[in-house]
A and B are shown apart, each in its own frame.
Chain A
Amino acid sequence: MSQPLHMSMAKPKTKSRAQAKMPRAARAAAQSSNLYEGMVPQARLKDKDTYRHIVSLLVDNEAGVLARVIGMIAGRGYNIESLTVSEVDRELHLSRINLATLGTHQIIEQLKAQLGRLVPVHVVRDLTDEGPSVARELALVKVAGVGDKRVEALRIGDIFRANVVDSGTKSFVFEVVGNTDKVDAFIDLMKPLGLVEVSRTGVAAIARGAAGIDKASAEK
Chain B
Amino acid sequence: MAGKALTAERQGASPDDGPFVGARILLMALEEQGVEVVFGYPGGAVLPIYDELFKQNRIRHVLVRHEQGAVHAAEGYARSTGKVGCVLVTSGPGATNTVTGLTDALLDSIPLVCLTGQVPTHLIGNDAFQEADTVGITRPCTKHNYLVKDVNLLAQVVHEAFYVARSGRPGPVVVDLPKDVCMAMGHYTTAPRGNLRNQHKTYRPKTKPDAAAVAHAVALMAAAKKPVFYTGGGVINSGPKASALLRELVELTGFPITSTLMGLGAYPAAGAQWLGMLGMHGTYEANLAMHGCDLLINIGARFDDRVTGNLKYFSPGSKKIHVDIDASSINKNIIVDIGIVGDCAAVLEEVLALWKAHPRKPDSKTLRVWWRQIADWRGRDCLHYEQRGKLIKPQYAIQRLYELTKKREPYITTEVGQHQMWAAQYFRFEQPNHWMTSGGLGTMGYGLPAAIGVQMAHRDSLVIDIAGEASILMNIQELSTAVQHHLPVKVFIINNKYMGMVRQWQELLHGGRYSESYSAALPDFVKLAEAFGCAGLRVSDPAKVDDTIRKMIAIDRPVICDVVVDQKENCFPMIPSGKAHNEMILGSREKAGKAITGGGLALV
Inter-chain residue pair count (beta carbon < 8 A)? 98
Let me know if A155 is at the binding interface, CB within 8 A: no
Q: Are A75 and B140 in contact (CB under 8 A)?
A: yes
Let me know if B330 is at the binding interface, CB within 8 A: yes
Query: Among B145, B147, B312, B340, which residue has its beta carbon within 8 angstroms of that of A38?
Result: B340
Separation of A163 and B136 alpha carbons in the complex (Å)? 41
Q: Are A93 and B341 in contact (CB under 8 A)?
A: no
Please indicate the chain B residues that have their CB under 8 angstroms from the CB of A39 in the complex.
Answer: 213, 338-339
Q: Are A110 and B332 in contact (CB under 8 A)?
A: yes
Given A42-B335, A110-B328: A2 touches B312 (CB 8 Å cut-off): yes
Q: Are B328 and A114 in contact (CB under 8 A)?
A: yes
Interface centre among B4, B143, B202, B204 (most CB of A within 10 A): B202
Separation of A36 and B321 alpha carbons in the complex (Å)? 14
Let me know if A178 is at the binding interface, CB within 8 A: no
Separation of A220 and B202 alpha carbons in the complex (Å)? 7
Please indicate the chain A residues that have their CB under 8 angstroms from the CB of B140 in the complex.
Answer: 71-72, 75
Let me know if B378 is at the binding interface, CB within 8 A: no
Let me know if A67 is at the binding interface, CB within 8 A: yes
Which residue in chain B gives the minimum CB-CB distance to A116? B327
Separation of A36 and B215 alpha carbons in the complex (Å)? 12
Separation of A92 and B330 alpha carbons in the complex (Å)? 32
Let me know if A35 is at the binding interface, CB within 8 A: yes
| Interface-facing stretch out of A9-17, A57-65, A78-86, A133-141 | A57-65
Interface centre among A39, A40, A61, A109 (most CB of B within 10 A): A39
Q: Are A117 and B327 in contact (CB under 8 A)?
A: yes
Separation of A93 and B147 alpha carbons in the complex (Å)? 17
Which residue in chain B gives the minimum CB-CB distance to A64? B135
Let me know if A37 is at the binding interface, CB within 8 A: yes
CB 8 Å contact bits of B316-331 with A (1 = contact, 0 = none): 0000001010111011
Interface residues on B, range: 35 or more
Q: Are B139 and A68 in contact (CB under 8 A)?
A: yes
Let me know if B207 is at the binding interface, CB within 8 A: no
CB distance from B72 to the nearest CB of A (A): 23
Please indicate the chain B residues that have their CB under 8 angstroms from the CB of A122 in the complex.
Answer: 202
Q: Are A35 and B212 in contact (CB under 8 A)?
A: yes
Please indicate the chain A residues that have their CB under 8 angstroms from the CB of B201 in the complex.
Answer: 60
Let me know if A18 is at the binding interface, CB within 8 A: no
Separation of A71 and B145 alpha carbons in the complex (Å)? 14
Separation of A114 and B328 alpha carbons in the complex (Å)? 6
Q: Are A63 and B327 in contact (CB under 8 A)?
A: no
Separation of A18 and B309 alpha carbons in the complex (Å)? 38
Separation of A120 and B143 alpha carbons in the complex (Å)? 11
Q: Are A117 and B310 in contact (CB under 8 A)?
A: no
Separation of A110 and B5 alpha carbons in the complex (Å)? 32
Query: Among A45, A62, A68, which residue has its beta carbon within 8 angstroms of that of B335?
Result: A45
Q: Are B210 and A42 in contact (CB under 8 A)?
A: no
Query: Among A63, A68, A120, which residue has its beta carbon within 8 angstroms of that of B147?
Result: A63
CB 8 Å contact bits of B469-480 with A (1 = contact, 0 = none): 000000000000
Separation of A68 and B337 alpha carbons in the complex (Å)? 31
Let me know if B241 is at the binding interface, CB within 8 A: no
Please indicate the chain B residues that have their CB under 8 angstroms from the CB of A38 in the complex.
Answer: 210, 213, 322, 324, 327, 330-331, 339-341
Q: Are B144 and A110 in contact (CB under 8 A)?
A: no
Please indicate the chain B residues that have their CB under 8 angstroms from the CB of A46 in the complex.
Answer: 335
Separation of A176 and B213 alpha carbons in the complex (Å)? 48
Let me know if B2 is at the binding interface, CB within 8 A: yes
Given A1-B311, A35-B212, A38-B213: A64 touches B139 (CB 8 Å cut-off): yes
Please indicate the chain A residues that have their CB under 8 angstroms from the CB of B599 in the complex.
Answer: 2
**8 A Cβ contacts from B178-224 to A:** 200-206, 210, 212-213
Query: Among B2, B145, B311, B337, which residue has its beta carbon within 8 angstroms of that of A60?
Result: B2
Query: Among A5, A37, A42, A110, which residue has its beta carbon within 8 angstroms of that of B337?
Result: A42
Q: Are A60 and B202 in contact (CB under 8 A)?
A: yes
Given A67-B139, A119-B203, A122-B202: A113 touches B327 (CB 8 Å cut-off): yes
A and B contact pairs by CB, cutoff 8 A, 14 listed: A2-B311, A37-B339, A38-B324, A38-B330, A40-B331, A60-B2, A63-B135, A67-B139, A72-B140, A92-B5, A93-B5, A113-B330, A116-B328, A122-B202
**4 nearest CB pairs, A to B:** A38-B339, A113-B328, A36-B210, A119-B144
Contacts A2-B312, A119-B144, A120-B202 given; 15 further ones with Cβ under 8 A?
A: A1-B333, A36-B210, A38-B324, A38-B341, A39-B339, A46-B335, A63-B1, A64-B135, A64-B139, A110-B332, A113-B332, A117-B326, A119-B164, A219-B204, A220-B206
- Could you tell me which A residues sit within 8 Å of B by CB distance? 1-2, 5, 35-40, 42, 45-46, 60-64, 67-68, 71-72, 75, 92-93, 106, 109-110, 113-114, 116-117, 119-120, 122, 219-220
